[in-house]
Structure 1
Amino acid sequence: MNSLLAFTIVMLIWTISDYVAKKTKALLSSLFVASVIFLVGFKSGLFPEDLLPSSSLLALGQTVVGLVIVHLGTLISLDEFKRQWKTFVIGVSAVVGIAVFMYAFGQIFLDTNYILSGIAAISGGTISIILVQDAAINAGLVSVAVFPVLIAATQGLIGFPLTSIILRKEARRIQTAYRDGTLATPKEHAVVHDETDDSILPAPFHTTAGTLFVMGCVVLIATVISGWTNGYLNTFVIALILGIILRRFKVLKANALNGIDAYGLIMIAILLIIFGPLATLSPSDLFDLIVPITIAFAFGVTGLLLFAFLAGRFLGYSKEMSMAIGLTALYGFPGTLILSEEAAKNIGETEEEVHIIEDEILPKMIVAGFSTVTITSVFITGILAAFIY
């Protein structure tokens, strides 16, 4: 297929996906809309199988995925996680709950490879999916590679409305406590990334090219370290850790890729990686995945809610807040921000009440999203991907 035509089609698909996501307030995520368009296009013959490779974006995404993982590390403020350590523990517990329930009960119905890829998809985002997809494709397991894509495309449809209901209950609880005078003084909003943070590197390395050069070096270092461990420590997990460390010591600025000229294109290229297997999936294989997806959600979400509830109860959080924290694994940021603000605005009857509710909920939800999707899921998936064969 002509490369310019392929590139243009992909950009049109993403334009439509973003538009629908904004109109539905992310209830229908851009990932879900794009998955439907690509799936229908490939299965109907409207799109050729080589659409994504021909666009040149697929190769770009595979090249720069490590840079995005380093970028995720620079989003994480260690100081904020210290302040919100209870939230972090609950978030980690939720991801562990997904893994435990999926592995313990899912094997009754599903092949181990589906369980491992399902854990990655339910507990994490794009990076986790890419990790298990790469392992599945290398093993020649196309349906296993597609499985997490379909889960990721639909998990927001479960996570958003369920979290919305739970957060509204939590908002009412906070409102009642505030009116009764029993609410502790609310903490300030979480600042997970501060864009005023600067890098100690010389000015030439603050440009688009300079930033990409530095982050490329970081990924190369992560690759070398992974090689020293014979791959036991995943390159991407090391890259995430290095991102956190380098942000802490201001070698890389917070939110490192944001604002550079190439950021938007890089993110589109990364997301396109996960759609690749859809081109070769047969309709019968797609139909066969319906039951595994249902089973994965049933056990995964049950484990998530149970472990989050138990951890929250032990740490003194309300059951509603604990379960909402756990559910961030299904969508992450910016859903954590949107749902928190909506709960506060819908329940608070005065401007002061809205701020009080938001100040109680938002810091926990923001940190929760990073603890589940960005950190714990990448660590767990980096380990589990090695067992797909």
Structure 2
Amino acid sequence: MAPIFIVLILVSIIALGEVLSLSSRAKIPTLLVVVAVTFVLLQTGLLPESYIEASTFVAAGGVLVPVLIVHLGTMIPLSVIKKQYKAVLITLIGLIVSVLAMLIIISLVFGYQTAVAGAGPLTGGIIAYIVTQEGLTEAGFVSLAAIPVVVFTLQNLVGMPLTSTLLSKYAVTIRDDFSNEKFSSQKGDEMKGDLGSKKKELLLPERFMQSNFFLLFLLFIGGALATWLGEITGINYSLWSLAIGIIGFAFRIYPDKALDRSNSSGLAMVALIIVVINSLVGITWDQVVSSLIPVLCVIVIGTSGLIIGGMIGAKIFKWKPTKAVPVVLTALYGFPGDYLIVEEVSRSIGRNEAEQNRIMNELLAPMLIGGFTSVTVGSIVIASILIGTL
């Protein structure tokens, strides 16, 4: 079959996942649909395993991973992170408690390698999953390959309903507390201010930054430099990519959301998802079934760690647990789930437009920053460090 037809099949599966996700307001995660449908097609032989490699997108996705991580480093300014430092620190506490709980308990029951296989994906998103999957394969733990993909696809089903329930309870206190000026004074558009009106001049002329090709050139320089640094230092390329993106954005070498500005993020994400699909090749139904018990333990223990860490952070920074714990739980789903949940909660709890805006303004910034801290930064660091210990 010609590669164009294979890619059409794979993209149609991704599109199906998007349609179901949008229709259910992210209650059915896109990647859950993609992984489930692809796995069934592979197991039944309707989609031959060789087809995925023949699509040529697997190689493209592998090349784009460091570029995408550099892009992630350009997504949120340090000034916004400073304003939401409590959300950042509470999220980090939750991640640390969760990872330690998994490394201790899961290691005692199933072994250290199983704990590592589950910890990276549980504390973050697609990049952490890919780093973990690649690391397990390189270290020779092929038998554990089913664990990260099953954790990765099921954790949303736990995180999003739990977050929605807790945030709804906190939103009621915002709605009913008319006398507390802090809710009405938080505008929630501070992120817009830092990304927009306060934007500093870029180091290179603006006319260059309007070129899609030149932006891609800069991103590929960052990705190539990160890969080279990873080879000579032994530190995973993902950490270097993230650092280059953050530093490059701070020094105005990169604009914010660099890959989006190059109009390339959609195709890059398709390639990345096809890399995830390719990781299903060779995984059997028996492996998935045998991994369910350790996966459930990873999800239960990891999620419990996130909740306990969130409650500790709430105590330290004097936040209500119903606000702090959801911020930490963004590790289980990230963006756009965090935004959609806040939007849904504000609309369902607010009785009028003013109340809805007050709820949205109070919750949006910390939830987005929590997701950025965990999924975009924390999980990549955690996965990279843990994989290096195998």
Q: Partner residue of 1:86?
A: 86
Once the two structures are TM-superposed, the CA of residue 184 in structure 1 deviates from its matched residue by 5.2
Once the two structures are TM-superposed, the CA of residue 90 in structure 1 deviates from its matched residue by 0.5
Q: Partner residue of 1:188?
A: 187
| Count, aligned residues | 385
Alignment match of 2:245 (pick from 243, 246, 249): 243
Instruction: Provide structure 2 residue ranges, at least 5 long, that are not aligned to the other structure.
Output: none
SS at match of 2:101: helix
SS at match of 1:168: helix
Q: Is the 8 A contact 1:172 1:347 kept in 2?
A: yes
CA distance in 1, matches of 2:50, 2:212: 30
Q: 1:28 to 1:143 in 2, by over 3 A?
A: farther
1:47-77 deviations in whole A, cap 9, x for unaligned?
A: 1011221111111000111110000000021
1:180-228 deviations in whole A, cap 9, x for unaligned?
A: 4475553221417736756432434532221111111112222333344
Q: Which amino acid aligns with 2:123?
A: S
Alignment match of 1:286 (pick from 288, 296, 315): 288
1:305 partnered with 2:304: no
Q: Which amino acid aligns with 1:188?
A: K
CA distance in 2, matches of 1:259, 1:221: 21
Alpha-carbon RMSD: 1.7
Q: Is the 8 A contact 2:72 2:242 kept in 1?
A: yes
CA distance in 1, matches of 2:144, 2:187: 43
CA distance in 1, matches of 2:217, 2:209: 8
CA distance in 2, matches of 1:253, 1:339: 28
SS at match of 1:253: coil
SS at match of 1:254: coil
Q: Partner residue of 1:218?
A: 222
Q: Is the 8 A contact 2:150 2:288 kept in 1?
A: no
Q: Partner residue of 1:201?
A: 204
Q: Partner residue of 1:254?
A: 256
Once the two structures are TM-superposed, the CA of residue 351 in structure 1 deviates from its matched residue by 1.2
CA distance in 2, matches of 1:182, 1:32: 41
CA distance in 2, matches of 1:374, 1:185: 29
Once the two structures are TM-superposed, the CA of residue 156 in structure 1 deviates from its matched residue by 1.1
SS at match of 2:262: coil
Q: 1:187 to 1:143 in 2, by over 3 A?
A: farther
1:112-139 deviations in whole A, cap 9, x for unaligned?
A: 2121021101101111011111111123
Q: 1:8 to 1:181 in 2, by over 3 A?
A: closer
Q: Partner residue of 1:275?
A: 277
Range 197-206 or range 261-270, more displaced: 197-206
Q: Is the 8 A contact 1:84 1:367 kept in 2?
A: yes
Query: TM-score under structure 2 normalisation?
Result: 0.94
Instruction: Provide structure 1 residue ranges, at least 5 long, that are not aligned to the other structure.
Output: none
Q: Which amino acid aligns with 2:10?
A: V
Q: Is the 8 A contact 2:99 2:302 kept in 1?
A: yes
1:170 partnered with 2:173: no
Q: Which amino acid aligns with 1:240?
A: L
